Amino acid sequence: MAIKFQYNKISLQEMQQQLKVRLDALPVIKYKEAILRAEAEKAKKKMVELEDHILNKINQYQYMNILWKEFPPDAVAVREIKTSMKNIAGVKTPQLESVEFELKPLCLFTHPLWISNGITLIKELASLSVEKQLLLTRTKLLDDARKKTTQKVNLYEKVQVPGYHNAILKIKKFMNDEESLGKAVQKIMKKRILSI
């Protein structure tokens, strides 16, 4: 991206102003990038912990696999998932508030005693799975925002700031050359006038 400019004082002031804006914004953007990176890593770590916790819960009840065939399939259903939005460095991410379940009334005389424990386990696993999905969404949003912020940092650092520096130097050099040339012309004209 070539920076367009003219060889005059107005253009010089404009280039200096644009350079100042970018130099002032650069630390803020770098800080935002660092926050987004840290939050994304934290969400990934929490997601891995949740996956391990879910697998441990499932493995804990592995011995009951045969009994799950007796479990009524429509005994527990997710009624509502309540979320809120959390602002992390300008990125709105979902955060789990609660998961509400709808329970089908069961007759405890016709079903085994372990069904109530099974319902509790299913509710816990469903809540953990919903939280894991929200963490996956949060991680993706934070990673996408971090990538855009990194691109902006690179654009400023590697393209625009050096481009504005070069433009300012070229304008100053041109104006100095023009001034020197003007002084030289004045001296020549003065010598000619004095020699007449």
Q: Which domains are seen in the chain, by residue range?
A: 24-160 (1.10.287.3240)
Most confident of 2-6, 115-119, 126-130: 126-130
Cα separation of the two ends of the chain:
54
- For residues 105 and 136, the answer to whether their CB atoms sit within 8 Å is no
Task: Read off the tokens for 141.
Answer: 């949003």
Closest of 124, 103, 134 to residue 58, by C-alpha = 124
Task: Read off the tokens for 158.
Answer: 């590697």
Q: Cα–Cα distance between 41 and 37 in angstroms, integer?
A: 6
CA 37 to chain centre: 7
pLDDT of residue 82: 92
pLDDT of residue 110: 67
60: pLDDT confidence band, cut at 50, 70 and 90? Answer: confident
Q: Cα–Cα distance between 97 and 143 in angstroms, integer?
A: 23
pLDDT of residue 108: 64
The structure's pTM equals: 0.77
Under DSSP, the state recorded for 157 is I
pLDDT of residue 162: 93
Whether 107 has a pLDDT exceeding 70, the answer reads no
Whether 66 has a pLDDT exceeding 80, the answer reads no
Provide the mean pLDDT of the chain.
87
Greater confidence (1 vs 187) lies with: 187
